[in-house]
Structure formats: structure tokens, C-alpha cells
Amino acid sequence: MAATATRLDVLGIGNAIVDVLATAEDTFLAARNLPKGAMNLIDAGQADALYAAMGPGLECSGGSAANTIAGVASLGGRAGYVGKVRDDQLGAVFSHDIRALGVEFRTRPATAGAATARCLILVTPDAQRTMQTYLGACVGLTPADIDAEQVAAAEVTYLEGYLWDPPQAKEAFRKAVKIAHEHGRKIALTLSDPFCVDRHRGEFRDLVDNHADIVFANEHEIISLYQARDFDQALQQVRGGRRICALTRSAKGSVVVRGDEVHVIDAAPVDRVVDTTGAGDLYAAGFLHGLTQGEALPRCAEIGGIAAAEIISHVGARPQVALGELLRQRRKS
């Protein structure tokens, strides 16, 4: 079916989460066997126990795809979001924050059941973040939450791999993929986390090889996906496909692959890395914004790098300045 006019540049679907950020020493992680740098799922009891042991926190809307969508909106893009919160105080915080950026967010909050999801994020002195997520109300996301009109109206529908964790969200995910492709739209996917890839490797391989038009992964995730020896071997697996693969390598920048094209892009400079939470999410935001504005792939990666550099220069995974303005200033200088 031929593509008609779009209302949204990017529609994100993900776990709607409020982040609770606190600083912690490496010994705190070690004493609790928390795998540094990763995202781990915990239940309500574990969340309460960890929270009680943590230092004072700072609450801020989060969620991987939601951070990306906040970034797209901050860059000036037309953005929408689908995710499930509870009708509680933290759910109201999440809903406010995403709508305050002009994002179309219509998903009905749950009126019963588990509380709004929380991600307890421990930021160590090396600026690495270790995440423990209580999915809470996110487990209530079902195919009924996918609005066919909204997906059909979005140039790109962006899905996070974390959606494979709650029981019914993957069905919502599959429904969105089907609708998008029926309407000639694109599907973007982030692999989210190497442990998440481990949990769902078979299905993720199928998604990456057969369904996604744009794939985001960091080096650990892409190595895990193909059970490769190293990044170069994973890169060989990725080459030749029709889809775009944007592979992030932290301070080493990113590598973008489409068919036999390979672009290597440097990271944007950062004065001081404070908290790496949201780096990958904001890279995806910049990349997708560039793509939906018709930019060439190297420029998309460059915008991704600029957005990621802003986010790691402060605490929290949502931009503290209007990224569109930041981009304009960069162009002038």
C-alpha cells in the first residue's frame, strides 16, 4: 500500500517507567550481585528492599523508547508514544512529562493492579548506570493499546526490545509491526540490553533479519545477538541486509551499515561524563530525527551523537535543554 501523508515522524512503543536515580559505590553493587551497566528485572518486594537500601533519589520520567521520543520532540520532530502507567502519582508524573514536550500520548492508564513502573538506577563514580526495573503497570500493555490509525500515521514506529519482557506487550509489538508495514511505514527496533537479547535471542534474530527496517544496538548487544566473537565478526553478519543498522560504541562513536555501505562516525565531544543513563536512547532519537528529516546516514549518526552527548553530561535520561536549539547553535559555530 502506498504511503499517504503522515501526522507523526516517530511513534515509540515501550515500557513507561519513572526512573529513580541515586549515586552508589561499586561496593554497593558488588554486595548485591548487581551486574554493572545492565538492566535487570526485579519484583515489587525486591524493588522495595533495594529502594530502602539506596541513597536519596531523584525522580525523573524514563523508559527507553519514551526517552527516545522525548528526544525526538525536543529536536522539533512530531512524536507519539504508547506505554502503560497506573493512575497513580508517578503515572501522572510520567504522563505530564511526555505531554509537556508536545508528544501525542493517548494510552489509557490502568485503574487497578500494579503501580507505575520504576527503574532504580544506581550511578557509580565512573558515570556508569546499573538498572533494576520493577515493571509494575507495564505488564498491562496489550494489543488493544495499539491504535491502528496512530501507527498508520507515523513514518517510523520505534519499538524497544524490553517489550519482550512483559507477557502481552510482544503481541502489541507484533500488531504494530503488521499495521506499519501494511501502510508502507517503517519499523525501527532497539535491542535494548545484552541480557534482554540473551533472554529473547531467537525472536530478536527473526525481528532483525526479517521485520525491522532500522535496528539500533550497542556492541555488546549485537555481539550477543549473533553470538559473535567480537564486534568485527558481528559487523560481517549485519552487512548486506536491506535494513539500516546503527551500532553504537560509546566513546568510539557509531558504525552505520546499509547493504554494503559502512559509515564510521566519531562521538561528539563531552566535557565531563556525569551519568550515561539514556545515551543509547538519545542516539536513537537524533538518528531517527535526522532520517525523518531526509538527512543522509552519516548526518543522522552525527545528530544522534550530539543528542547522546547532551544526555550524558547531566543526571537523568531526558534532555535538559531544547535539543533543536542545540543543533542550530552547533550548525552556526
Task: Give the residues lining the site for a copy of itself (CB under 8 A).
Answer: 22-23, 51-52, 54-61, 70, 88-90, 93, 96-98, 100-101, 115, 314-316, 318, 320
Shortest gap between Cβ of 333 and a copy of itself (angstroms)? 19
**Helix orientation angle between 297-311 and 323-332, rounded to the nearest 10 degrees:** 120
- How far is it, in rounded angstroms, from Cα 310 to Cα 281? 12
Helix (H) or strand (E) holding 156: strand 154-160
Shortest gap between Cβ of 106 and a copy of itself (angstroms)? 16
Question: 93 or 127, CB closer to a copy of itself?
Answer: 93
Shortest gap between Cβ of 60 and a copy of itself (angstroms)? 5
**294 CB contacts (<8 Å, ≥6 apart)?**
none
Question: 56 or 294, CB closer to a copy of itself?
Answer: 56
Say if residues 140 and 110 touch (Cβ distance below 8 Å).
Answer: yes
DSSP conformation letters of 299-312: HHHHHHHHHHHHHT
Residue 313 CB-density burial (10 A; 0-12 exposed, 13-18 middle, 19+ buried): middle
Shortest gap between Cβ of 46 and a copy of itself (angstroms)? 16
Shortest gap between Cβ of 7 and a copy of itself (angstroms)? 22
Question: 98 or 159, CB closer to a copy of itself?
Answer: 98
Question: 17 or 223, CB closer to a copy of itself?
Answer: 17
Question: 19 or 160, CB closer to a copy of itself?
Answer: 19
C-alpha cell belonging to residue 243: 535494513
